């Protein structure tokens, strides 16, 4: 049985420029979807999956995010302050590593929400984690059945569950990265000391054969723009009526 994962890193420091003007001058994690802030959709799902602590990084309109989270009891919230300088996704996680523990932890974009299929995707992700073989395990959605995603796909599966990127720019691959993954702290060994993208450490793990994926069951919704927000609202409304 895999060791339980109880800590999450919620990436909430981005500028969210693509969401304007739908954000109504609030940071993207506080944009409301179906009456609830995006970050609350994320944190509620964490609680259901057994996460007890969430480290939330902040930069843009940080005071608003902190005030919104102040009264939250579950999971326990800790703020990783990036007001001085935005560290990008990889640098943000690396700054928080001392708080994230010595084992696997969840990394979750604040704008990544979904409608579950059969069972909990986070529970399946945790169940699939293998610390001996993996440095990261990504939750991947079928791009053709996702909302708010436009692109040629991000990853394809190898037969053994490892993942690879597109071999050439023009290639289309089936799966989009949902913004959700499990990671071990060693994923960041040798990583830059300044701002950097998670793509840098993922590429190292892929080259070493230690990056794996798990297919999401359900409908992923990347709520990154006003159009994607409207689509997600419509999808949730249909789900409620069905």
* Residue 242 reports pLDDT greater than 80: no
Residue entry with tokens 């964490």 = 46
Question: Are residues 125 and 213 in contact, defined by beta-carbon separation less than 8 angstroms?
Answer: no
Task: Tell me the three state secondary structure of residue 88.
Answer: helix
Closest CA to 22 of 8, 38, 9, 7: 38
Question: Which DSSP string corresponds to 194-236?
Answer: S---HHHHHHHHHHTT-EEEEE--EEEEE--SHHHHHHHHHHH
Contact 220, 228 (CB under 8 A): no
Band the pLDDT of 1: cuts 50, 70, 90.
very low
Cα 207 to Cα 226: distance, rounded to the nearest angstrom? 36
CATH number for 7-139+178-210 (one of 3.90.550.10, 3.90.1150.10, 3.30.70.100, 3.30.70.940): it is 3.90.550.10
DSSP calls for 144-162: GG-BS--SS-SEEE-TTSB
pTM of the predicted structure, to 2 decimals: 0.94
Cα–Cα distance for residue pair 92/115, rounded to 1 Å: 27
Tokens representing residue 64 in the block: 């608003």
Query: Do residues 107 and 8 make contact, with C-beta atoms less than 8 angstroms apart?
Result: yes
Domains of the chain, residue spans: 7-139+178-210
Q: Does the pLDDT at position 2 exceed 70?
A: no
Cα–Cα distance measured from residue 129 to residue 106, given in angstroms and rounded to the nearest whole number: 11
In the prediction, which pLDDT does 148 show?
84
Condensed to tens digits (0 to 9), the pLDDT of residues 137-190 reads: 999 999 988 988 888 899 999 999 999 999 887 789 999 999 999 999 999 999
> Locate tokens 């037969």: which residue?
159
Q: Which of 165, 158, 96 is nearest to 133 (CA)?
A: 158
Q: Alpha-carbon torsion 78, 87, 24, 239, what sign?
A: negative
d(CA 174, CA 82): 34
- The chain-wide mean pLDDT, for the chain, equals 92
* pLDDT for 220 beyond 80: yes
Q: For the chain, percent helix, then strand, then coil, each to nearest 5?
A: 35, 25, 40
């Amino acid at each position: 049985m895999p060791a339980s994962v109880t800590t999450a890193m919620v990436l909430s420091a981005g500028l969210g420029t693509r969401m304007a003007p739908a954000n109504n001058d609030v940071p993207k994690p506080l944009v409301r979807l179906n009456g609830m802030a995006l970050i609350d959709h994320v944190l509620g799902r964490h609680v259901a999956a057994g996460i007890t602590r969430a480290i939330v990084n902040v930069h843009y309109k940080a005071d608003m995010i902190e005030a919104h989270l102040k009264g939250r009891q579950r999971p326990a919230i800790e703020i990783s302050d990036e007001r001085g300088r935005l560290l990008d996704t990889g640098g943000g996680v690396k700054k928080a590593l001392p708080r994230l523990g010595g084992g696997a932890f969840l990394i979750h974009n604040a704008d990544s929400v979904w409608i579950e299929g059969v069972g909990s995707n986070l529970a399946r992700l945790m169940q699939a984690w293998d610390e001996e073989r993996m440095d990261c395990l990504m939750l991947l959605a079928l791009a053709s059945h996702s909302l708010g995603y436009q692109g040629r796909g991000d990853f394809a599966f190898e037969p053994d569950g490892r993942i690879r990127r597109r071999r050439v720019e023009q290639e289309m691959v089936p799966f989009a990265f949902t913004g959700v993954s499990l990671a071990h702290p060693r994923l960041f060994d040798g990583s830059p000391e300044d701002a950097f993208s998670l793509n840098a450490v993922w590429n190292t793990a892929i080259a070493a054969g230690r990056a794996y994926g798990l297919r999401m069951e359900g409908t992923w919704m990347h709520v990154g723009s006003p159009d994607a927000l409207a689509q997600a609202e419509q999808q949730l409304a249909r789900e409620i009526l069905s």
